[in-house]
Amino acid sequence: MTPMTPTVPSVHRDVVAGSAADFMLVRRVVAAGSQVEIGRALAEEARAAYGWAPVPADRTLARARRRWFERNWPQHHARLQGAAQACGVDFEADAFHLDGLTGVPDGSACSAAYCPPRQTAEGHALLGRNYDFFTTSQAALFAMMSGRQVKDSAPPMASRPYVLESAPDDGPATTLLTMSELDSAMEGVNEHGLAVALLVADGENVKPPVDAGPQVGLASTQLPRFLLDTCASVEEAKAALLDAKQYDLGAALHYLVGDATGAAFVWEHGAGGDEHVTESDGALCVTNHLLHRHRDVAALPEDNPETMLSYGRYRSLHASTGGAMSADRLRESLDEIRFDAATSDPYPVRTLWRTVFDLQERMMSAHFYLGDGEDGPRYSEEMVFSAAR
> What domains appear along the chain, each with residue ranges and CATH number?
10-15+32-97 (no CATH), 111-386 (3.60.60.10)
8-state DSSP, 54 = P
Q: Which residues of 143-156 are buried (b: 16+ CB within 10 A; e: fewer)?
A: bbeeeeeeebeeeb
Q: What is the pLDDT of residue 147?
A: 63
Which pLDDT score, from 0 to 100, does residue 209 have? 66
Report d(CA 168, CA 389) in Å as an integer. Answer: 10
- CA-CA-CA-CA torsion for 184, 141, 160, 385, nearest 10 degrees? 50
Q: How far apart are CA 173 and CA 190, in angstroms?
A: 6
What DSSP character marks residue 215? -
Determine the 3-state secondary structure of 98 from DSSP. Answer: coil
Note down pLDDT in tens along the chain; length 389 residues: 333 444 445 899 999 999 999 999 999 999 999 999 999 999 999 999 989 999 999 999 999 999 999 999 999 999 999 999 999 999 999 999 999 897 544 456 799 999 999 999 999 999 999 999 988 876 666 666 666 666 666 778 889 999 999 999 999 999 999 998 999 999 999 999 999 999 999 877 766 667 778 999 999 999 999 999 999 999 999 999 999 999 988 788 999 999 999 999 999 998 778 899 999 999 999 999 999 999 899 999 999 988 999 999 999 999 999 999 999 999 999 999 999 998 987 788 999 999 999 999 999 999 999 999 998 999 999 999 999 98
End-to-end CA, the chain: 33
List the beta strands (DSSP E) in the chain: 10-18, 25-33, 55-56, 96-97, 111-115, 126-134, 162-168, 174-178, 187-190, 195-200, 218-219, 246-247, 253-258, 264-269, 275-279, 284-286, 349-358, 363-373, 376-379, 383-386
pTM of the model: 0.93
Cα dihedral 250, 63, 68, 190 sign: positive
d(CA 188, CA 364): 8
Nearest CA to 303 out of 355, 272, 346 is that of: 346
Select from 358, 320, 359, 313 the least CA-distant residue to 338.
313
DSSP-based three-state secondary structure for 318: helix
> Helix and strand tally (H, E) in the chain?
8, 20
Length of the chain: 389
Cis amide leading into 155 (omega within 30): no
d(CA 128, CA 113): 5
- Helix axes of 223-230 and 234-243: crossing angle, nearest 10 degrees: 130
